[in-house]
């Protein structure tokens, strides 16, 4: 076989392989209802096939060199898929070691529970007068799940309200008593059982960490326990995520997003209460931390349990579902084996590069640029007040940042391969970010 014949075979084989991969990616995008991406990928596949046929068929100077370049390209791709994940490019600040400084009374959700004219309202805004005007402005808007919201939908809003109401009833189950009889279970066995059970119940991921002081609020801010200091009485925290359905999230900020959000809060609350009930039944004190009744900051616990990193939008970024998850936590004194998480700086690197959530945020609540130090940790700090005000205008909890995040793409073979390459090359992360803009648009339309 001559060198020219070998070059012809190499060029035809490699370009043919790439054409088939692009065609497959186009079909996957079509199944995801991403028509723009499907059309672009199909066009590139056809151009690749045509260019490959011409490059393989005709003779020209440099044909052997082109064949060598294509072989090198294949070798590079295989190397990226098989090499260990990339290390930190520079100090990313992804390690969270904050001070314990968060008073739940200062969160926007707790502040919105204050009723004008009450003693609690007057006392709070006397101490923090700078918050009164923006908070009263938010109160003057239609509000979450209000019929006056711009995204009002009677059925979706009613379904979401029903879910949140049921969660409120579930708050009473948090105080379920602990059995007086303790059943001794070895830590490895109990840990395996809980994780397997959560997976069976539908959890997307789960992890265990030792409970840290900075995981906890300093003071409770909602409900009957408002004003009570939070004590660290448990040793371990079980964090788990529940994946959201992107078919609903993709409509953000329309009404299906709050239906989806409320449903996953309900699902996670049910799982957390089941796990806490199991531990209490074994004679170990435990507490479920669910929507509307937290003693701790769930994303910090989930981060330390190895479930992901805290991204630009201030949410937990999981490796294969991005921010499209809801979190619940169970704390306990039961013997468990903590996970030894490996930080994933490539998630933070991608958030640094991308900034799509900031571009698409309707409330302009997500910062651009680099992280800043706040609360003892280097992070991106969102404007929770402007975010909540937008919720009060639409009547939904928006979710636009989740919908447009490249990491929220479905966990199928195409996106799994892209994520794998991103974790192994900072340059690949930059290429993937640009490709996402080309295929899906810098500001994708809500479906």
pLDDT tens digits, 58-80: 999 999 999 999 999 999 888 88
Is 433 inside any structural domain?
A: no
The better pLDDT of the pair 402, 423 is held by 402
Q: What is the pLDDT of residue 340?
A: 85
Instruction: Tell me, yes or no, whether 75 and 175 share the same domain.
Output: no
Q: What is the pLDDT of residue 105?
A: 96
Which residues, listed in sequence order, are joined to residue 208 by a DSSP beta bridge? 238
Tokens of 92: 């990313």
**Mean pLDDT over the full length of the chain:** 93
- Contacting residues for 87 by C-beta, under 8 A, at least 6 apart: 345
Tens of pLDDT, residues 147-157: 999 999 999 99
Instruction: Tell me, yes or no, whether 71 and 119 share the same domain.
Output: no
Instruction: Tell me, yes or no, whether 76 and 148 share the same domain.
Output: no
Lowest mean pLDDT among 3-7, 94-98, 398-402, 423-427: 94-98
Instruction: Tell me, yes or no, whether 256 and 358 share the same domain.
Output: yes
Is 44 inside any structural domain?
A: yes
Q: What is the pLDDT of residue 176?
A: 94
Residues 383-422: b if buried by 16+ CB within 10 A, e if exposed: ebbbbbbbbbbbbbbbbbbbbbbbbbbbbeebbeebbebb
Is residue 175 exposed (0-12), middle (13-18) or buried (19+ Cβ within 10 Å)?
A: exposed
- Does this model's pTM top 0.85? My answer is yes
Domain boundary among 389, 404, 419: 404
Range of the domain at 360: 104-404
Q: How confident is the model at residue 94 (pLDDT cuts 50, 70, 90)?
A: very low
- Coil, helix or strand at residue 333: coil
Instruction: Tell me, yes or no, whether 48 and 113 share the same domain.
Output: no
Is 50 inside any structural domain?
A: yes
Is 418 inside any structural domain?
A: no
Q: What is the CA radius of gyration of the chain?
A: 25
- Contacting residues for 408 by C-beta, under 8 A, at least 6 apart: 246, 249, 321, 322, 323, 324, 402
Instruction: Tell me, yes or no, whether 313 and 180 share the same domain.
Output: yes
Is 215 inside any structural domain?
A: yes
Is 425 inside any structural domain?
A: no
The better pLDDT of the pair 349, 260 is held by 260
Q: How confident is the model at residue 403 (pLDDT cuts 50, 70, 90)?
A: very high
The DSSP symbol for 323 reads T
Provide the number of structural domains found in the chain.
Answer: 2
């Amino acid at each position: 076989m001559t060198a020219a014949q070998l070059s012809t075979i190499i060029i035809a084989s490699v370009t043919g392989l790439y054409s088939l991969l692009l065609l497959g990616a186009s079909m996957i995008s079509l199944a995801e209802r991403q028509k723009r991406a499907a059309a672009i990928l199909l066009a590139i596949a056809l151009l690749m096939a045509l260019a490959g046929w011409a490059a393989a068929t005709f003779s020209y100077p440099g044909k052997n060199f082109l064949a060598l370049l294509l072989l090198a390209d294949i070798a590079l791709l295989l190397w990226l898929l098989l090499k260990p994940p990339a290390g930190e490019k520079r100090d990313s600040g992804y390690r969270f070691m904050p001070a314990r400084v968060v008073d739940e009374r200062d969160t926007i959700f707790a502040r919105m529970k204050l009723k004008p004219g009450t003693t609690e309202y007057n006392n709070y805004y006397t101490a923090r007068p700078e918050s009164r005007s923006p908070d009263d402005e938010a109160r003057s808007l239609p509000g979450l799940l209000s019929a006056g919201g711009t995204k009002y939908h009677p059925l979706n809003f009613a379904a979401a309200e029903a879910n949140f109401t049921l969660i409120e009833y579930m708050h009473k189950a948090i105080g379920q008593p602990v059995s007086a009889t303790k059943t001794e279970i070895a830590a490895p066995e109990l840990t395996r059982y809980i994780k397997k059970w959560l997976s069976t119940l539908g959890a997307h991921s789960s992890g265990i960490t030792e409970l840290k002081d900075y995981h906890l609020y300093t003071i409770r801010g909602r409900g009957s326990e408002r004003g009570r200091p939070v004590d660290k009485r448990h040793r371990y925290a079980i964090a788990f995520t529940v994946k959201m359905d992107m078919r609903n999230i993709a409509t953000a900020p329309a009404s299906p997003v709050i239906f989806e959000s409320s449903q996953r809060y309900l699902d996670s609350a049910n799982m957390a209460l089941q796990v806490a009930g199991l531990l209490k039944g074994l004679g170990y004190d435990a507490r479920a931390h669910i929507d509307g009744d937290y003693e701790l900051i769930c994303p910090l616990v989930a981060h330390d349990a190895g479930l992901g990193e805290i991204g630009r939008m201030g949410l937990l970024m999981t490796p294969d579902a991005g921010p499209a998850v809801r979190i619940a936590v169970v704390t306990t004194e039961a013997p468990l084996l903590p996970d030894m998480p490996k930080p994933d700086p490539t998630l933070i690197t991608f958030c640094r590069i991308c900034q799509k959530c900031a571009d698409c945020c309707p409330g302009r609540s997500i910062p651009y640029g680099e992280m800043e130090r706040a609360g003892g940790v280097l992070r991106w700090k969102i404007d929770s007040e402007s975010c909540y005000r937008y919720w009060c205008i639409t009547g939904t909890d928006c979710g636009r940042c989740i919908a447009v995040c490249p990491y929220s793409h479905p966990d199928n073979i195409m996106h799994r391969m892209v994520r794998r390459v991103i974790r192994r090359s900072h340059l690949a992360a930059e290429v993937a970010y640009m490709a996402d803009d080309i295929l899906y648009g810098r500001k994708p339309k809500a479906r």
